[in-house]
Amino acid sequence: MANPTDAAGITFERVGDYAFARPTQRREDCPECGGTGLVRTRTQQNGREYDLVAPCGHATLQRRATSFNAARLPAVQAQATLETYKPSNAEQHRALQVAKEFAFRWPQLRGFVLSGPVGTGKTHLLCATLKHLAIELGVKVSYVEISLLYSQIRRGFQDGKSGGEIIGPLSTVDVLAIDELGKGRGSQFELETLDELIARRYNAGKVTLFATNYSLKPPEERAQRGYFGTETALEAGKDSKLLCDRVGDRIYSRLCEMCDFVEFPGATPDMRRSPQLAGRKRG
C-alpha cells in the first residue's frame, strides 16, 4: 500500500519481503532538471563567474530511496514513522522520546535497546528511526532480524563464505538495527557471531539499535548468581526471560555501555490484537 501524500516526496510501499521507497515524482517530470538528473547554477568567486553542476532534488531523493531500500526493512513496516507511533504508557512515551532524540539529533554516540512484549511497536520504532535517518539525512542504515542473520550465515557456509564476509557490510554501516535480540538457539556459533558483530561495530565507533522480547534486568536478578560467559549462556539461557542470560554477560555488558535501555511493562497492549490494526489491509 503506497502512501502518496508523503511529505518528503518519497512513496513507501511493500515489495516482496521488504519496505520499498521511490520518489513520488518520475525523473522525467522533475521541474528542476527536466530528466537529466543535474542542475546547472552560476556562481561568482574573485570576480570570475563559474558554472556549477549538481544533482537535482529528484536525484537526491532517488539516492536516499535507494539507500533506504538497501537497508532491507521488513515490508510490514513500510509505513512506520515516528509520528504514527502512539504510546499507551510512560515507558512507550520514553521509548518514543529516546528514538526521536536519536533521529533528530544525529550524529549520536549511544544507541538504544527496546524491550517488551510482542506487538508493542519495538520494530515499528526501530524502522521509523532508520527511515528518518536514511530519508531525511541520507545516513547509511541497515536492519537485521538476528535469527535470519544466523540462517543467512549458515547458508553462506555451504557456499564457502565465511561468517565474517556476511557480517562485514553490517559492521560498517552508520546505524544498524538488530531486531529480536536473544532469539535463536543461543548456540556457541550464534553467540560468537553476535559478539563479533557488536565488537566490530563498537571498535569502529558505529552506533547500534536493538529490540528484544527479553527483559533488560541486570544479571543480579538471576536466581543463581555468577558470571555467564557466551559459552555457558546456552545452558543458562534456555528458559530464562532475562536478556543477559540469553546473550551472556559479555554482550550484555557491552550493551550497557553502548545503549540507553527502555523496557515496557508486561501489560503493555499488543497492537496486533487491536481492532484498529486488525482491520488494516495487509499486502
Residues 210-269 interacting with ligand ADP (rule: CB under 6 A): 211
242's grid cell: 532475562
Name the amino acid, one letter, at 236.
A
| Segment interacting with ligand ADP, rule: CB under 6 A, options 64-72, 197-205, 214-222, 270-278 | 270-278
Which CB atom, from 114 or from 175, has the smaller least distance to Mg ion?
114
Residues 97-116 interacting with ligand ADP (rule: CB under 6 A): 116
**Cα(22)–Cα(4) distance, rounded to whole angstroms?**
10
Check residue 163 for interaction with ligand ADP (CB under 6 A): no
Q: Fill in the per-residue mask, 113 to 132: x = in contact with Mg ion (CB under 5 A), - = not in contact.
A: ----------x---------
Comparing C-alpha atoms, which of 107, 124, 20, 29 is closest to residue 70?
20
Q: What angle do CA 265, 267, 271 make, to 5 degrees?
A: 105
Which CB atom, from 31 or from 275, has the smaller least distance to ligand ADP?
275
163 neighbors 156 (Cβ within 8 angstroms) = yes
Which CB atom, from 86 or from 185, has the smaller least distance to ligand ADP?
86
267's grid cell: 501489560
Q: What does the chain come to in residues?
A: 283
Give the one residue of 124, 131, 206, 246 binding ligand ADP; rule: CB under 6 A.
124
List C-alpha distances in Å: 248 to 64, 167, 227, 252.
37, 20, 8, 6
Check residue 208 for interaction with Mg ion (CB under 5 A): no
Check residue 14 for interaction with ligand ADP (CB under 6 A): no
| Segment interacting with ligand ADP, rule: CB under 6 A, options 11-19, 46-54, 63-71, 76-84 | 76-84
Which CB atom, from 133 or from 177, has the smaller least distance to ligand ADP?
177
Which CB atom, from 23 or from 111, has the smaller least distance to ligand ADP?
111
Q: Is the bond into 74 cis (omega within 30 degrees of 0)? A: no
Name the amino acid, one letter, at 241.
K
User: Residue 121 touches which of ligand ADP, Mg ion, none (CB < 5 to 8 A by kind)?
Assistant: ligand ADP
List C-alpha distances in Å: 178 to 9, 16, 112, 145, 209.
28, 21, 11, 6, 6
* Residue whose C-beta lies closest to ligand ADP: 121
How near is the Cβ of 219 to Mg ion at its closest, in Å? 24
| Segment interacting with ligand ADP, rule: CB under 6 A, options 35-43, 117-125, 148-156, 242-250 | 117-125
**Cα(19)–Cα(70) distance, rounded to whole angstroms?**
10
Binding site for ligand ADP (CB under 6 A): 76, 80, 84-87, 92, 116, 118-124, 211, 271-272, 277
